[in-house]
A and B are shown apart, each in its own frame.
Chain A
């Protein structure tokens, strides 16, 4: 079992005629073909104005609605450039996509506020933006992560960061733990899906036995997650927070990674998670070990 991505997932790519949109659609198609031979998981793409053409075997449509009707897709992977990305996400929601995975980095915050408002009336779930995507190892990946570092298993990963998630998956592999699903929620201040929503999904997923939460400085989403964990999560958990040495007032790469007004520090997030019973690794080198300790009930 897994969350978000299953054998019924069918994906179209918005922005498929762009360089990275096409490249990653190809990589995702290869991975899915290895996992589910003979099944077409990545069924096409959308670029307004290029409908009716094909690109490397992917049929291209003018709109998400048309793509959904003609391919049966239920999921969209979004690579549309930042100035137009909010519009693309809203179009996917309007077309009834169940899952929208937005990889694009650099969407203005005001645009994301409008997206969030637009999604309130929708049943679509948005993951990201500014994220590596979602992978259920052995089934499919929707995003830019390298497939081979993720092994099938029973740990759910929720992370704000891309390469740090790869690092975590690799460390889990070294201690013999695979993943049910790994989800990047993105490094932007406003995103589609919170830690709490994913914690709930992993808690309810029979295929997930433990959860690794990777956070970073900025905002208070990790503290809110800690509150939720206390009363709702019974599965063993480990965690790590990036940015313990970051200076206040400086944006550390991710738009959301900034300590402002004395709030959003790594120390307060680590303390909140520890108080909620999460095994927190102070070192990024200890994420796998921390998860193993949590699974063995050693805290």
Chain B
């Protein structure tokens, strides 16, 4: 799960991690008041959407307006906010449709001496969290890794013990920070590592991490992603979820206990098991088709879930054919077919449906399909299924 920058900074501040002073604004007047209350001569007005690349992003309705702007007066804050709020911001990460901006974060301007990068993730192979820092603040870490990997520093730390102060100093000296900044890093870095562990993050990224002219380390931006499996113990984080940032069909699927990811093709897929569901997408592509989605109904899907799965697939107007691929293990094939036939009746199919079944009770299931009289195309194996669904699409 992702949250907005201003939400992440509230959590970081509460965890003792230094962030700039900032105020949330949802109207242009609030943005002007925010500038005044911050009390400085410079502020930054930042669009709050989950996607990155906001500084270079532009609004559909206001092509001259950027997603993040520097302002020098309350009036300027108000004018910019008026051009941003309610409008659609398109960035490199939003796709062409963009995202509507309904919240702004107005932050104090800082006198910045250094811009660095900080990221924390779990290193799967090492089996522990790792703090990643780079000299190149503001640049994508993947880009730095590709062009100048020597500018990236990695410091694994123990999830229980946290990052030791000596590890923070080691990084600070390697980054060439001055004495005051080293002292600041000694506090900042262990605290943000503690935050990562305590909040069950899957990623915490501060880009840029800044050092001010007076040697203070602060998080100028904050991107935090949480481990969905750990949300049960973080009710405060769940409360920060912004459903308007998520794909509606994916939210609907998750509520039904289905795992669904929308894609851009025209062949809808319904599969049991994540590995088989991914493979079914690959299979479609290999045979010249384009999958419209990933959908795993799981090992114990009931009739209601299968029906809802079909509804979600068919609600996507790009879908011109559907492939059902079930390998019944513990889940019996005849139960799947019974659910499928009921769903067929309830949902109303207007596109070709290819069904490939294998596993427990498959003979009974095939007989049920045949006896139903429905124009369902039966396939014998994976390759046959892919060929038939691509052919049905082109017919």
Q: Which residues of A pack against B, CB within 8 Å?
A: 24, 27, 82-83, 106-111, 113-114, 116-117, 132, 144-146, 148-149, 159-167, 170, 187, 189-190, 214, 216-217, 219-221, 224, 240, 242-247, 250-257, 261-262, 266, 282-286
Contacts and interface: CB of A to CB of B under 8 A. Distances in A.
Nearest to B198: A110
Contacts of A220: 124-125
6 contacts: A108-B200, A161-B273, A164-B276, A189-B122, A217-B278, A283-B382
Contacts of B127: 113, 116-117, 190
A163 B329 contact: yes
A257 B278 contact: yes
B283 interface: yes
A243 B273 contact: no
Interface of B: 122, 124-125, 127-129, 141-142, 145, 158-160, 197, 200, 202, 227-230, 232-233, 259, 261, 263, 271-286, 291, 294, 296, 299, 327-330, 358-360, 381-383, 386
B282 A244 contact: yes
A163 B273 contact: yes
Nearest to B264: A247
B122 A109 contact: yes
Contact of B285 (A114, A148, A165, A244): A244
A167 B160 CA distance: 40
Contacts of B285: 244-245
Given A219-B125, A253-B278, A283 B273 contact: no
B128 A159 contact: no
B233 A252 contact: no
A252 B261 contact: yes
A205 to B, nearest CB: 24
Contacts of B280: 284
- In this complex, the member of B160, B227, B278 whose beta carbon has the largest number of chain A beta carbons within 10 angstroms is B278
Given A146-B330, A162-B273, A163-B273, A243 B229 contact: no
Nearest to B234: A108
B125 A221 contact: yes
A253 B274 contact: yes
A144 B329 contact: yes
A160 B282 contact: no
Given A117-B159, A245-B284, A266-B282, 7 more contacts: A83-B232, A108-B233, A161-B275, A162-B275, A187-B274, A220-B125, A282-B286
B275 to A, nearest CB: 2
A226 to B, nearest CB: 13
B143 to A, nearest CB: 10
A216 B159 CA distance: 26
B297 to A, nearest CB: 10
A163 B272 contact: yes
Contacts of A224: 125
B155 to A, nearest CB: 16
Given A109-B227, A189-B124, A219-B124, A243 B278 contact: yes
A198 to B, nearest CB: 16
Given A161-B275, A187-B274, A242-B275, A110 B197 contact: yes
Contacts of A108: 200, 227, 229-230, 233
A246 B261 CA distance: 9
Given A163-B329, A252-B261, A284 B279 contact: yes
Contacts of B282: 242-245, 266, 283-284
A153 to B, nearest CB: 19
- In this complex, the member of A106, A108, A148 whose beta carbon has the largest number of chain B beta carbons within 10 angstroms is A108
Nearest to B290: A245
B132 to A, nearest CB: 10
A31 B363 CA distance: 22
Nearest to A19: B300
Which 4 A-B residue pairs are closest in the complex by CB-CB distance?
A161-B275, A253-B274, A163-B273, A164-B275
A278 to B, nearest CB: 17
Contacts of A145: 329
Given A219-B124, A221-B125, A242-B275, A255 B383 contact: no
A110 B227 contact: yes
B275 A187 contact: yes
Contacts of A242: 275-276, 278-279, 282
Nearest to A223: B125
A292 to B, nearest CB: 15
Contacts of B277: 252-253
Nearest to B263: A247
B197 A163 contact: no
Contacts of A109: 122, 200, 202, 227, 229-230
B359 A160 contact: no
A120 B275 CA distance: 29
B291 A285 contact: no
- In this complex, the member of B129, B160, B202, B279 whose beta carbon has the largest number of chain A beta carbons within 10 angstroms is B279
A162 B200 contact: no
Given A166-B329, A220-B124, A284 B283 contact: yes
Contacts of A256: 124
B229 A247 contact: no
Nearest to B260: A253
Contacts of A106: 229
- In this complex, the member of A190, A214, A245, A254 whose beta carbon has the largest number of chain B beta carbons within 10 angstroms is A245
Contacts of B125: 219-221, 224
A159 B273 CA distance: 13
A36 to B, nearest CB: 22
A263 to B, nearest CB: 8
Contacts of A164: 273, 275-276, 279
B33 to A, nearest CB: 36
Contacts of B284: 245
A83 B278 contact: no
Contacts of A165: 275
